[in-house]
Amino acid sequence: MTGSDATRLDPAVFDSLSGRVGRQAGAGLLEGARGSGLRIAIVCALFNGGISSRLLDGALGGLQEAAVDRADVTVAWVPGAFELPLAAQRFATHSEVDAVICLGAVIRGDTSHFDFVAGQCASGLARVALDTGLPVIFGVLTTDNVEQALERARDDETNKGREAGLAAVQMATTLRAIGRAKAGVAG
C-alpha cells in the first residue's frame, strides 16, 4: 500500500536504487505492474456491503489500469469478513487464478467482537497465502467508525480497493519473476 506522503517511495529514488543491482525481479512499483493475461478472483463481504461495493469499484478500476482483461476477473460474495479466508482458500485450491483480492470493512463501532472478526480475517488470509503460495490481498478496512471507512473507499486514486487491485497485479507478476529467477530465466 502506498502509505503517507512522508513515507511514500519516490519513483526517482526507486529507479536509482534499481540501477545499482544486477537484476530486479518484477515491476517493483505498484503502478508499474502490467496484468494482461493474469486471472484474478475477488471476494467481497456482504456485511457493510455498501463499503465493499465501493472497494470493488476501486479494485476493478485498478485492475483495468493494469490492463487486466475483465473476462479474467471473477467475483464472489460471502456473508462477512470472517468468511473471506475460506472463500480465498477455495479459489486458491480449486481454480486457476494468479491472485485473490479480499474486500470488506470491519468497523469497531458496529460490534463488540471487532478484534475477533478483524484478527481472524487477517490471520486467516495470511495463512491461505502462505499455505498455497498464491498472493492473497488484504483489502479489508479496519476502522473505528463508518466515516473512516467511507474516507478509505472514496471514488478517487486513494480508494483502498484500487490499491488492492494494483497490489494483486504487482504480487502476481513479482512472484512469477522470482520463480523465473530460481529457474535461471531472464526477465
Cβ neighbours of 46 (radius 10 Å): 14
Give the residue at shortest CB distance from ligand INI: 80
In angstroms, the CA 96 to CA 121 distance is: 23
State the residues that interact with ligand INI by CB under 6 A.
45, 47-48, 79-83, 104-107, 110-111, 117
Query: What's the min distance (Å) between Cβ of 119 and ligand INI?
Result: 12
Of residues 40 and 84, the one with the C-beta less far from ligand INI: 84
Output phi, psi for 41, to 5 deg. Answer: -105, 140
Single-letter amino acid, residue 19: G
Of residues 29 and 146, the one with the C-beta less far from ligand INI: 146
Query: What's the min distance (Å) between Cβ of 106 and ligand INI?
Result: 4
113 catalytic, yes or no?
A: yes
**E-strand spans in the chain?**
40-45, 73-78, 99-107, 136-143
Radius of gyration of the chain from its Cα atoms, rounded to whole angstroms: 17
Of residues 111 and 132, the one with the C-beta less far from ligand INI: 111
Query: What's the min distance (Å) between Cβ of 108 and ligand INI?
Result: 8
C-alpha cell at 42: 475477488
Of residues 48 and 159, the one with the C-beta less far from ligand INI: 48
Among 95, 109, 113, 158, the active-site one is: 113
Find out whether 103 and 55 touch, Cβ atoms under 8 Å.
yes
Output phi, psi for 89, to 5 deg. Answer: -65, -40
Task: Classify the phi-psi angles of 30: left when phi > 0, otherwise alpha if psi is within -120 to 50, otherwise beta.
Answer: alpha
Query: What's the min distance (Å) between Cβ of 30 and ligand INI?
Result: 25
State whether the Cα torsion 52-163-127-183 is positive or negative: positive
* Residues assigned a catalytic role: 113
